[in-house]
Structure 1
Amino acid sequence: MKRFENKNVLVTGAGSGIGFGICRHFASEGAIVALNDKNEVLAKEAATKINNEIGEQRVFPYACDIANVEEVRKMVKEFASTHKGLHVLIANAGITNYGAFLTYTPEAFDTLTSVNMRGSYFSAQAAALAMIEYKIPGRIILMSSVTGVQAHINLSAYGMTKAALRLMARGLALELGPYGITVNAIGAGATITERTLTDDPNYEKNWNSVAPNGRTGYVEDVANTALFLASTEARHITGDTIMVDGGWTIYSPVPQNHPTADNK
């Protein structure tokens, strides 16, 4: 029997990148997976790709904007009622917008926080309510970042949202502990995805040069951490943030050839 057979898992922001990889790993381990993305076409394509790979229909696309609380509540309720419960939420959806503090706009700030903070908070709330309704001692996993631990130029606002998710994990863990629900966060470091390679074609080489373990993260590094935190083996871990960064936050250097983010 696979590790997540008969478990229902919802992953937000999963049309590509880390979220897609997490969906793929859970589906391969036997879970029924709700793959969420704001882009309906991308969500359907991603779900179809994983289902074709594993040879079963285990992944179901759900298109909704995580910043829209009513849409999130509807999605969680529909998935949980269709599959008789919700066991795991991976609140992966998030956006990055670079900007220097002195010129950062209220519009950019509101867009960023509405997804990264409000979206994660109310996704977790909807998931927790579903877990409680179905009497499931579930797992909620938030997606933080190394930028929530160490400052990074032109990412002050983004880093604030990721630091907030670390504290959110602690606060929610305290309130949801009596229901048997654990809440943790993953502090992802430099990770090779389609987006990071588009931003910097030399991404892997650049970040290899400054990682204490000499390698850049892969999507599976984050996905495997999510699998662990969602498993019974992690039942006594809650309110914590696991850094998946190859040790980068030990001293946090930036690659010499890292492209400037000033004009992004």
Structure 2
Amino acid sequence: MKNSKVAVITGAGQGIGLEIARKLLDTGSHIILNDLETSLTEEAVASLSRMGKGSVLGCSGDSASDEVISELLDLAMKHFGRVDQVVANAGITLFGNFLDYSRSDFMEVTRVNQAGTFFLTQAAARIMKDQENGGAILLTSSVTAHQSHENLAAYAMSKAAIEMLAKNLVLELAPFGIRINTIAPGATLTERTTSDPAYASTWSKLTPLGRPANTTDIAEAAAFLLSDAARHITGQTLIVDGGWTSISPSPYA
């Protein structure tokens, strides 16, 4: 695929990140993916490679660390000579009542979700700045950045910060042809959420469209924002939640 784009995706060993990688691979991108767990990274690379599309490379480790960020982008440059699409998808959720929430949990959520996203974006943008066609960056937020959700104050705060980062960076990145947007998934069926046997039925009742999202729903929207079809869209957040934020019933109600 001579004119393929090159995509770097964090948190792509399973769930939403893996499905975004699969979608971008299917639409013509080479993939460099990351997951914290080596086994998930290796399984994802093997699974995607069986599609017989573009090249798929893996890089395991903490995506919020400077070392892993550098390794991811170095892989892209060494093998393909450019970076066209970046998905800062890695993140963690540490639930906890606000009045009892620990400083250590707060700092870890902030480190992974905010700092990891910020510095991956910075490093990628430095590369894209020198490319003729710039690039497209997508940050992963959450509906909790828009509506209150019990026991997720720190997480919601980190995701709202990510959305403001994308909006703010329009000023600095647009002159280089770099677009940056955010996607905010609502309730989504993933390996993590389906470990709760009540998750699908609960969110089917709470979601106006009658079901939670699946990972394909999120990946389709992500691929659009990263594609040339969205070439005049930047600084925006696309909420993919089946209408939940319009009415916002709490699962704890």
Q: By the TM > 0.5 criterion, same fold?
A: yes
Greater Cα offset, 223-232 or 76-85: 76-85
Which residue in 1 is equivalent to 2:86? Answer: 89
2:151 aligned partner, one-letter code: N
CA distance in 1, matches of 2:22, 2:104: 34
Cα RMSD (Å) of the superposition? 1.6
Q: Report what 1:136 is aligned to.
A: 133
In structure 1, distance between residues paired with 2:141 and 2:5 = 24
Residue 218 of structure 1, CA deviation: 0.7
Shift, 1:172, TM fit? 1.3
Question: C-alpha distance in 2, partners of 1:136/1:127?
Answer: 14
Question: Is 1:20 matched with 2:7?
Answer: no
Tell me, yes or no, if the aligned pair for 2:36 and 2:62 is still in contact at 8 Å. Answer: yes
TM-score (norm 1): 0.92
In the alignment, is residue 205 of structure 1 matched against residue 237 of structure 2?
no
* Number of aligned residues: 253
**Residue 31 of structure 1 aligns with which residue?**
29
Preserved contact between residue 222 and residue 244 of structure 1 (Cα < 8 Å): yes
Could you tell me how far 1:129 is from its partner in structure 2? Answer: 1.0
Q: Spell out structure 1 runs of 4+ moving beyond 3 A.
A: none
Alpha-carbon offset, residue 42 of structure 1: 1.4
Secondary structure of the structure 2 residue equivalent to 1:8: strand
- 1:231 maps to what in 2? 227
Q: For 1:5-32, what per-residue CA distance to the aligned partner results, in whole angstroms no more than 9, with x for missing partners?
A: 5100011010011001111111111210
Paired letter, 1:29? T
Q: What residue ranges of structure 2 are gaps of 5+ in the alignment?
A: none
**How high is the sequence identity, in percent, across the aligned residues?**
42
Q: Distance in 2 between matches of 1:30 and 1:231?
A: 11
Question: Does 1:123 find its partner at 2:125?
Answer: no
Alpha carbons 1:141, 1:185 under 8 Å: kept: yes
Partner of 1:11: 9
* 2-structure distance, mates of 1:123, 1:187: 18
Matching residue's letter, 1:9? A
- Secondary structure of the residue aligned to 1:209 is helix
Q: Secondary structure at the match of 1:194?
A: coil
TM-aligned CA deviation for residue 243 of structure 1: 0.3
Structure 1 segment 131-210 matched on structure 2, within 5 A: 131-198=128-195, 200-210=196-206
Contact 1:80 1:130 in 2 (8 A): no
Partner residue of 2:72 out of 72, 75, 98: 75
Q: Displacement of 1:254 after TM fit?
A: 2.1
- For the 8 Å contact 2:113–2:158, the answer to whether it is kept is yes
Query: Unmatched 5+ residue regions in structure 1?
Result: 259-264
CA distance in 1: counterparts of 2:131 and 2:67, whole angstroms: 20
Q: Which amino acid aligns with 1:23?
A: A
| CA deviation map 1:174-228 (0-9, x unaligned) | 2100001110000110000010011x21211111111111121010111001110
